[in-house]
Structure 1
Amino acid sequence: MTDHVTLQWDERGGVTVHMDGSPQSHVQPDDPTLLVFEYVQHLALAIDTLPPGPLGVTHVGGAGLTLPRWVEATRPGSPQIVLEPDEALTALVRKEIPLPRRHRIRIRPVDGLTGVRALGGASADVVVTDAYAAGRVPAELASAAYVLEVRRVLKPAGTALWNLADEPGMRYVARVLATVRQSMPHLALIATHEVLKGKRFGNSVVVASCAPLPLESLRREVARAHLPTGLREGAALERLIAGAKPLDAKGMQSPPPPEAGRWRPR
């Protein structure tokens, strides 16, 4: 363990990575396809709609490496890059929750914006932005400058995913969507019904691309999700974005999470 990272094992053999007291990710070492956190299920759901076979995936944010492990298990041989600046966290996770043999997951100790800028153009099928500091999305990872870099790194038909936390009303999410749309016009949003209806603070997943999204597949995957999940696209998404001002080159942090005791149980 480190000063700001702890690992909490449960009776089923799973482990939750806590950073600064907040749960950051959950890993089931003997079954990486078992995803516990709702937003990770939604990220995986979006990736499941992409063509079969290995995918080149860049992950901005590492923590327990839950999604890279899932990609490796479901799409063996996928070359993956993880940008995670916290070297102590990575060392602890790799020691206590080892990665599978013969994986193609490469971890680089750099922040997201720096790491994405260093990647080659059209080098990734998917870029996943799932990075938090003190429970908030760093401002630069929602900035217009960052979105442009993500678009550059993606292949022409590539998909960008953001895990965003927001308050009821989703005004922060709306501003990020308005920002992303300037560079990648095809958008969708996935979240639980409670979050989409504004009943609680929670996470939603932005799906974006320069190419048309596989909306029929997204609708099908959302309909059979284990959690009560909804999809916003088309006119419903336009209503959410209406009036939202795109973020500038500096971006904006996501709202702070509520106090631990005020989280609504799931």
Structure 2
Amino acid sequence: MNAPPAPRPGRHRVRLGEAELLQDADRPSGWLLSVGGVAQSYVDLDEPAHLEFDYMRRIGDVLDCLRPGPLAVLHVGGGAGSLARYAAATRPGSRQLLVDADDLLVELVSAQLGLRAVPGLAVEVGDGRAALAAAAAGEWDVVVLDAFHQATIPAGMVTLGSVSDVDKALAAGGVCLANVTDGPGLAFVRRVVGTLGAVFEHVVVVGEPAVLRGRRFANVVVAASRDELPVAEVAGLAAGAVFPARVVPGAELMGDPITDDEPVASPLPPEMFT
């Protein structure tokens, strides 16, 4: 079988603007994907278990602490498929589906970064909410909500309606993992936690201490399940990270749920205003 062509750095038009592929000077097999000037994904083609972004490593921590063996994972969004590649490498035999609304981006990362060649991964172009609604009851062990419109989570992506669809789609013991961005005060994180907490009994937030204290803008990971989460195990991995993170009970950050009648988008990063 012929080897796929090597990726090429450069700029490309996608539905949400301009995407750029940059090769990592320190890791020749590492590639950074940005869209609209916002870093979206990092993949190492030779080491798919390498997760460069801290928040992605925290999601990886949760996956590592779930039951052993293959998993069925639905990715709503996912850029270049960093987490899908990780699950395929660390959980051989996993069945995964990545749904992204940007057809041009999907074709770019498929052609340049081999997205469709990830073992066990199916890739579809479509609306994330529609994919959640269409999922069969109990079809997935993990649902990852990582859909962004450049720098923000689209309004309507994390509402009681969409989270109820996640709940339906999850198998017994299943986990919802949401990548959430927020800044001082964590107003949006609190709304997301409140939304997940209205559907799932167990909710925790994982992030760097300064972010959880509302001192700077960054990503946090919210995990939710009907069943108890492996909090102690995840906390141990997070505390031992290069940039240590904490696990906080959702009850400490519980806000009002977001509804489809009043959807809320995540705030823009501060640098987007400069």
Regarding TM over 0.5, the answer is: yes
Question: Which of the numbers 142, 149, 171 marks the counterpart of 1:155?
Answer: 171
Determine the structure 2 residue equivalent to 1:8: 22
Determine the structure 1 residue equivalent to 2:203: 187
Determine the structure 1 residue equivalent to 2:227: 211
Q: In 2, distance between residues paired with 1:51 and 1:214?
A: 10
Shift of 1:220: 2.0
**SS in structure 2 of the partner of residue 232 of structure 1:** strand
Question: Contact between 2:12 and 2:19, CA under 8 Å: does it hold in 1?
Answer: yes
Q: Identity percentage over the alignment?
A: 33
Shift of 1:134: 2.7
Shift of 1:239: 3.0
Q: In 2, distance between residues paired with 1:120 and 1:73?
A: 26
- Provide closer, same or farther for how the CA distance between residues 100 and 255 of structure 1 changes in structure 2, counting only shifts above 3 A: closer
List runs of 5+ in structure 2 lacking aligned partners.
Answer: 1-10
Shift of 1:218: 1.9
Shift of 1:102: 6.8
Question: Which of the numbers 45, 53, 76 marks the counterpart of 1:29?
Answer: 45
Q: In 2, distance between residues paired with 1:116 and 1:206?
A: 18
**SS in structure 1 of the partner of residue 270 of structure 2:** coil
Query: Which has the higher relative contact order, 1 or 2, with Cα contacts under 8 A spaced 6 or more apart?
Result: 1
Question: Which of the numbers 187, 195, 198 marks the counterpart of 1:171?
Answer: 187
The alignment yields a C-alpha RMSD, in angstroms, of 1.6
- Provide closer, same or farther for how the CA distance between residues 31 and 212 of structure 1 changes in structure 2, counting only shifts above 3 A: same
Determine the structure 1 residue equivalent to 2:268: 256
Q: In 2, distance between residues paired with 1:107 and 1:100?
A: 6
Q: TM-score, normalised on structure 1? A: 0.92
**SS in structure 1 of the partner of residue 69 of structure 2:** coil
List runs of 5+ in structure 1 lacking aligned partners.
Answer: none
Determine the structure 2 residue equivalent to 1:71: 87
- Provide closer, same or farther for how the CA distance between residues 173 and 117 of structure 1 changes in structure 2, counting only shifts above 3 A: same
**SS in structure 2 of the partner of residue 2 of structure 1:** strand
Q: Give runs of aligned pairs for residues 75-94 of structure 1, distance below 5 A.
A: 75-94=91-110
Determine the structure 1 residue equivalent to 2:7: none
- Count of residues in Structure 1 that have an aligned counterpart in Structure 2: 257
**SS in structure 2 of the partner of residue 126 of structure 1:** strand
Q: What is the identity, as a one-letter code, of the residue corresponding to 2:252? A: R
Q: Which structure 1 residue ranges, 4+ long, deviate > 4 Å from structure 2?
A: 99-102
**As a proportion of its length, which structure holds more strand?**
2
